[in-house]
Amino acid sequence: MKVDKKDFLDLSSWSVFELKQILTMATVLKSERQPRQPRLAGKSLAMIFEKASTRTRVSFEVGMYQLGGQAIFLSRHDSQLGRGEPIEDTARVLSRYVDGIMIRTFSQDDTVVLSRYATVPVINGLTDLLHPSQVLSDVFTIQERFGDIRKLKVAYVGDGNNMANSWINAAMRFGFDLQLACPDGYHPDAKILARARKEADSEINVVDDPLQAVQGAQVVNTDVWASMGQEEEAQLRRRVFAPYQVNDQLLAVAAPDVMVLHCLPAHRGEEITAPVFSRFQEFIFSQAENRMHVQKALLATLLGGAK
């Protein structure tokens, strides 16, 4: 089955030109808020959630509404997916009703299968491996403050998880320097890292020492120590990641104009201290808001053929 459609499963499958087009459109959509033209009038997005969500669900749902379309929330438990209907059949059926599918799930392979059998665009709303819609909008948030991200030194401190992997892909595409500090045994995906280090024009390194990664950084990112699905490891992870907390002592070595970002939800006192969170919360909540503006641009492009 040959289907001419574009998906957003992974930042690395898009060119920097295409990604920048999304960010440019997001700037326009953010300034309009209620778009002048209902670019997605009559269009529907199915949203499959096999994990919890606050931001992703609401930002995609409200984003579709503001573009003149609608979104349909499908949780694993309330759909036939939870009773074992294959993803292939779900993809074929949903494609006959809706104009796009967003999925939040465990395995990245499931998004690939969904995309293979769907005749409509598929958007990754987080897997264990990647969180591309989050990091694309984080690049937007950084550029709102600093301008071109290529000139910046970005750090990521903590678990080598879906956020870390997507940051590596973003560094490869946008060309900024990225230093990640992750404990042994919790490094980012080796294949993603190797490809990025080979293809990127910029420096992408994983180190053990958070001070080394944050030295001179203008942007410091962190994320939870136990991601969704790792709840049982939370206690162990609190011990392993204790030296990787974003706190005042760590930020003392960052650039004087440092910006701290967190994709949320945050665990104050774990990956970030409460005072640091409070100091940077305006940025962090703008970061959350920007999900909606950037995803609207993504939706308008994928479902509406916007140029």
Name which position in 138, 177, 223, 270 contacts ligand NVA (CB under 6 A). 223
Give the residues lining the site for ligand CP (CB under 6 A): 53-56, 126, 134, 263-264
**Residue of 131, 173, 262, 293 with catalytic role:** 131
Q: Interface mask (CB under 6 A) for ligand NVA, residues 121-160, using x and -?
A: -----x----x-----------------------------
The count of residues interacting with ligand NVA (CB under 6 A) is 10
Token pair of 129 as six digits: 């491996």
Q: Note the helical H segments in 242-280.
A: 248-251, 274-279
- Cβ distance to ligand CP smaller for residue 81 or 224: 224
- Residues 261 and 245: their CA atoms lie apart, in Å, by 13
| Residue 223 annotated as catalytic | yes
| Residue 291 annotated as catalytic | yes
- Residues 301 and 79: their CA atoms lie apart, in Å, by 28
Name which position in 91, 114, 163, 300 contacts ligand NVA (CB under 6 A). 163
DSSP class per residue in 162-204? HHHHHHHHHHHHH--EEEEE--TT-PPPHHHHHHHHHH-SS-E
Token pair of 45 as six digits: 């997005």
Binding site partner of 161, from ligand NVA, ligand CP, none, Cβ cut-off 5-8 A by kind: ligand NVA
Beta bridge partners of 261: 221
Residues 6+ apart with CB under 8 A from 238: 225, 270
CB 108 within 8 A of CB 50: no
| Residue 263 annotated as catalytic | yes
CB 186 within 8 A of CB 164: no
Which sign, positive or negative, has the C-alpha torsion 207, 209, 210, 215? negative
- Residues 186 and 160: their CA atoms lie apart, in Å, by 5
Among all residues, whose Cβ is closest to ligand CP?
Answer: 56
| Residue 77 annotated as catalytic | no
Binding site partner of 162, from ligand CP, ligand NVA, none, Cβ cut-off 5-8 A by kind: ligand NVA
Binding site partner of 54, from ligand NVA, ligand CP, none, Cβ cut-off 5-8 A by kind: ligand CP
Q: Is 161 in the site for ligand NVA (CB under 6 A)?
A: yes
CB of 157 to ligand NVA, least distance (A): 13
Q: Is 105 in the site for ligand NVA (CB under 6 A)?
A: no
Catalytic residues: 104, 131, 134, 223, 263, 291
